[in-house]
Structure formats: C-alpha cells, structure tokens
Structure 1
Amino acid sequence: MSAGESTSSLTDTSRGRGWVRGAAVTSDGWPVPFAVVTVIDAAGAQIGGTSVGGDGTFLVEDLPEGPATVITSAVGHTPAARPLAGSGDIGRVVLTRSGALSLPAPGRWDIDPVHSRIAASAFHLGITKVHGRLRSFTGAIEMGADLAGTRVHAAIDPASVDTDDDTRDAHLRAGDFLDVVAFPRIDFTSTVITGHTPDHWTMSGDLVLKGVRNTVDLDVVYHGAGPDLWGGERAGFYATTQLSRDDFDIRWNQSVIAGIFAVGRTLRIEIDIEAVRAA
C-alpha cells in the first residue's frame, strides 16, 4: 500500500481505543513541522489532537469509537479535513499555501543555474533506478500580470548529462540516445500555465528534444518570492513530469529478459528552479 493511500477503514482492537496516524506535507512532499492536528466527532466536539513532529508525522491515540473527522492545519496553509471511520493510517495530508501567496512581480526573471537543478531518472533492468542530471542550462520567466500572461523558456545542453559514470554518460551523448553532435540543444517553451491553487500550477509547453517537438505538461509547485541578501528578489519553483523516450525517437534498448529492458522507456524529470528578478 502506498504512502499516500488512505487506510482509515482499518481497526485495531488490540489498543482498546481508537487512533489515527498520518503525515502533514506540502504540495511537493516536504514535511510541515508546525502543523496542528485536531480530531472532532460527528457532533463537532474535539475528541483528540496533537502537534506534528519535525518530520511532519503525527499520532493521535485514545480516541473514542465512532466516526470522526481529522483536521490538519498550519499557519499560511489551507486546512485539510479527512473522514475517519475507524482507527488507521490516513497517509499523507497535503496542505496547500493559502491565498496570501503572491505571484512574482511582472517582468523578466532569470534562472539561476547555481541554485537550480534538472534531474532525470529511469529504471535499469526493471528493478532499480539510475539517476542523472543535466548540469548546463539557461532560461528565463517572463512574468505577466497573471499566469495567463506568463511565459517560460529554457535551453539545455544535452552534452552536460551526468550520471556519475563516464562510460554510461558517453553512451547517452552518442547517437543511440541524445546524439549531442547532431542536436546540441534541448529547448522548452511554455504555451499555457493554469493555476489550480496559489502554489500549484500546470505548465504546458513545447519540448524539442533530438529534433522532435512534443507537448509536455509539468506539474509545478510555487514556493513564493521575496528579497535575497544582496538587494535582489528571488522566486522558487519545483516541477515534475514524465517523458517517454519513444516520443522523441530515442528507441535504443537491449532486451535482457523477455519484456525487460536494460533502460526503461519512461523518464521521470524533476526540476528545482530559483529565478532572480532582472534589474
């Protein structure tokens, strides 16, 4: 059973009393260590509560039997309520930023490559993951008055791929994979950015990889914007997406066992971006 899957229907008669366990996390999975958990019964009366630990986890014990609601709240975040039918683990409770979170100021924001990261992972032999990074990239965010008027562009050097293995990296740069001599740049240009909550967006755009253009959707978490130590302004973002190698004509594979390939066809992409407002 996955970490985020609710098991609230479980019961534990060995404890003699009810209990509930879970974890308070942000939209991108970080713990919210200052959250508070309150449990109320069907009449709205408080029957239990606690503060979460430093890792975001919590455990409320000695709850009376019967249906209840678990409310998790934190300053600056929208409270989340989960029904509880009996003792159990309700998994990850995602707390989204409240409406006080403001967009970065309109204008150009340049990606700071020193404090940003583009990472990719793929399964190896179907049993474990290989992780790598694209270390050289540039880009900018042209912030509009709202998300509808905002555009993002990034250019990535595929020759900067780094998986901590020189032999593997040389193969990734060759014609079987990225073919960096023939296609020395990867480009992404956003087309539409849709806001779901103040800190959770979907960014759709055109990705050109190995000469093939496809539309991709990035799941974006906006961390906020504010002043830095040097008199400037910075904004932070985290984005994820999944790409199929087949969609970009990267079809090399070595079948080790029937149905199992040396390198998985699906790439998981994780992106951390820190952008600096242009002077």
Structure 2
Amino acid sequence: MVTAATTSGGNGTGGAGRGGNGSAPGVSARILTKDGWAVQHAVLTVTDAAGAQVSRTPADPDGTVRTAPLPPGAYTVIVTAVGYAPAAATAVVPASGTARVGTVVLSRLGGTQLPPPGTWTIDPAHSSVGAVAQHLGISSVHGRFPRFAGRIEIGGTPEESSVSAAVEAASIDTGNAVRDAHLRSADFLDVERNPQILYRSSSVTPAGPDRWTVHGELTLNGVVRPVALDLAYLGTGPDPWGGVRAAFRATTELHRSDFAMNFNQVVQAGIAAIGTTVKVELDVQAVQGDALPQ
C-alpha cells in the first residue's frame, strides 16, 4: 500500500461520483501505463475502514480521477481497468476532505504491454522488411523489400489486436542485379503472376513481458500458409513531426518448399547453393492514426 499525500481544499461531505461546481475533489489520482499513457477506461473505487464502498468514479480522457469530497479518515483506493492488473493504495483524508493519491501505474495482465488502442500506420521510411538465406552452407545473403505498407489495430487487450501488410515482391533488393532478377522470376517469387506478398493476422497471444505471438496467414508466390511471428514491442514515444510512434521487431522462419520455391543448385560435396529456409526480420515503426505525416 502507498499512503496518499494530502492536498488543501474546501470542506465537503462524502458521496459517490465526481466533485462538481468548483468543489475540491475528495480523492484524486492519475492512472497511467508504464509508458506514461492514460488508461482512459480505468475506474477508481474507494472503500472506508469498514470495507463499505463510498465512491466509484471513472477516469477522464487524460486518466485523471476525482471523487467528491470525503469525510476525514483512512480509505482504501482500488484502481481497475479491463486488461490490467488492479492496483491499490491507502488514502488518508484530512479535515479538508481532500487527498491526492498521485500517479498509479497499471501493468498489463500477464506482464504484456501495448501501445494506446487504435489504428497505427506502418511507416516504410523508418521500417524494414528483410530476409536472410544461407549460401553454400557457410554464409548468408541478406535481402530487403523497400516497398510495403501496413496497418496495426491495437485493441484493449493483445487478443483484440491485429495487423495486415502488403509487400511489393518486385522490390526485392539483395545488392546484386543478376541475383535480384532471378529472385523475381518463376523460380522464386514469380512477381509477374504474384506481385504482392500479403500477411493478415488471425489472432494475437501474449508470449511474455512485451512479447507477443502473432498468428496469421502469409500469401507468398500464390500460396497461402499459416505463419506465426515472434513479435517484441519496443516502446512508444513522440516523433519530431508532432506524431506518436510505436516500435516493434518481429521474426519468423519460412521453408521455401512450403511456398513452391524449390529451385536449387547442388555444388561440390553435395552442398546446396541456397538454404531451404529463409529467416524473415521485420523492424517496424508505426505512426498513431490512419495516415502518415506529410
């Protein structure tokens, strides 16, 4: 328990609901996530020493809660919000009838954090879609797809969140024009018939603190297969253009044969020139809202 600091204010009697008509609040608090975002759907419940509920007040849009003035005494303050573990504190209300709990930080159930709910648009200029394949069994070739777009919908819980993305297959770039032309051919991506690589999530499950498993379907080379992404949430913060950004990193491993890309060459000692698996590496910045800044 945390004992609340008291503040000065006018006298008043107890009661449920917000303080109004300029009266000083009884118990006030600010409800935030660990990243400093307001928990707008939080509710603050106050009980007296006998355990009776004396106030139940929802938070304002900025996460602030203010009850009506309360009689002097010790109270238990409980903060709840869907998708978060509850938090409790002790508030000692003096003769003025007001007390300030301060900032209450709520943690996601299971330890998993999220950006604020709503639509987030992936920013290709500050994100990357990469692929790594083994070459000759001893080294790796790195490629990237610079042209893509996507959207993330953050729900109130991880399970309510989703992501969709489209990648231009012809934008593949491994730093070698001859190799890139071959990758665009029917031996691999077959970009003439399948110009886009598509991903759409079907469910999201927590996998640890700040980590999710995103389950979905990948359409690649005209083949649709279930693919799970190991996703890490890296944090949220303001950008220089007046927006808010969230960062993620995701990886998965694909078997080329699952997507009808079976081309290979066998060099000396029976070693395949190209590995049978491809590691996908995604570094994503997403801007809050349904459009990118101009």
Q: TM-score range by the shorter chain?
A: 0.5 to 0.7
Equivalent residue letter for 1:166: A
Cα displacement (A) at 1:229: 2.2
Cα displacement (A) at 1:258: 5.0
How far, CA to CA, are the matches of 1:276 and 1:143 in structure 2? 12
- Give the structure 2 partner of residue 180 of structure 1: 191
- From 103, 107, 110, give the equivalent of 2:118: 107
- Give the structure 2 partner of residue 29 of structure 1: none
Q: Deviations over 1:124-166 (max 9, x none)?
A: 1111111110111000001111111111000000100000000
Contact 2:126–2:285 at 8 Å: present in 1 too?
A: yes
How far, CA to CA, are the matches of 1:260 and 1:101 in structure 2? 43
Cα displacement (A) at 1:102: 4.0
Q: Deviations over 1:249-276 (max 9, x none)?
A: 0001111135421111100111000000
Q: How does 1:14-53 map to 2 (within 5 A)?
A: none
Q: Structure 2 regions of 5+ residues with no counterpart?
A: 1-106
How far, CA to CA, are the matches of 2:149 and 2:178 in structure 1? 26
Equivalent residue letter for 2:118: G
Identity %: 50
Q: How does 1:84-163 map to 2 (within 5 A)?
A: 102-163=113-174
How far, CA to CA, are the matches of 1:257 and 1:191 in structure 2? 43
- From 283, 286, 289, give the equivalent of 1:272: 283
Asked if residue 239 in structure 1 is aligned to residue 257 in structure 2, the reply is: no
Contact 2:202–2:215 at 8 Å: present in 1 too?
A: yes
- Give the structure 2 partner of residue 66 of structure 1: none
Asked if residue 171 in structure 1 is aligned to residue 171 in structure 2, the reply is: no
- Give the structure 2 partner of residue 216 of structure 1: 227
Cα displacement (A) at 1:215: 0.6
Q: Structure 1 regions of 5+ residues with no counterpart?
A: 1-97
How far, CA to CA, are the matches of 1:215 and 1:257 in structure 2? 35
Which secondary structure state, in structure 2, belongs to the residue aligned with residue 164 of structure 1?
coil
Which secondary structure state, in structure 1, belongs to the residue aligned with residue 257 of structure 2?
helix
How far, CA to CA, are the matches of 1:117 and 1:192 in structure 2? 23
How far, CA to CA, are the matches of 1:102 and 1:221 in structure 2? 10
Q: Deviations over 1:52-91 (max 9, x none)?
A: xxxxxxxxxxxxxxxxxxxxxxxxxxxxxxxxxxxxxxxx
How far, CA to CA, are the matches of 1:153 and 1:250 in structure 2? 23
How far, CA to CA, are the matches of 2:212 and 2:233 in structure 1? 8
Which secondary structure state, in structure 1, belongs to the residue aligned with residue 274 of structure 2?
coil
Contact 1:101–1:224 at 8 Å: present in 2 too?
A: no
Aligned residues: 182
Which secondary structure state, in structure 2, belongs to the residue aligned with residue 194 of structure 1?
strand
How far, CA to CA, are the matches of 2:138 and 2:163 in structure 1? 35
Q: TM-score with structure 1 length normalisation?
A: 0.63
Contact 1:109–1:277 at 8 Å: present in 2 too?
A: yes
Which secondary structure state, in structure 2, belongs to the residue aligned with residue 172 of structure 1?
helix
RMSD over aligned CA atoms reads: 1.5
Of the two, which has the highest radius of gyration?
A: 2
How far, CA to CA, are the matches of 1:185 and 1:231 in structure 2? 32
Q: Deviations over 1:19-75 (max 9, x none)?
A: xxxxxxxxxxxxxxxxxxxxxxxxxxxxxxxxxxxxxxxxxxxxxxxxxxxxxxxxx
How far, CA to CA, are the matches of 1:109 and 1:217 in structure 2? 20
Cα displacement (A) at 1:101: 7.3
CA spacing shift, 1:193–1:259, aligned 2, 3 Å = farther
- Give the structure 2 partner of residue 12 of structure 1: none
Contact 2:113–2:210 at 8 Å: present in 1 too?
A: no
How far, CA to CA, are the matches of 1:133 and 1:217 in structure 2? 20
How far, CA to CA, are the matches of 2:148 and 2:281 in structure 1? 14
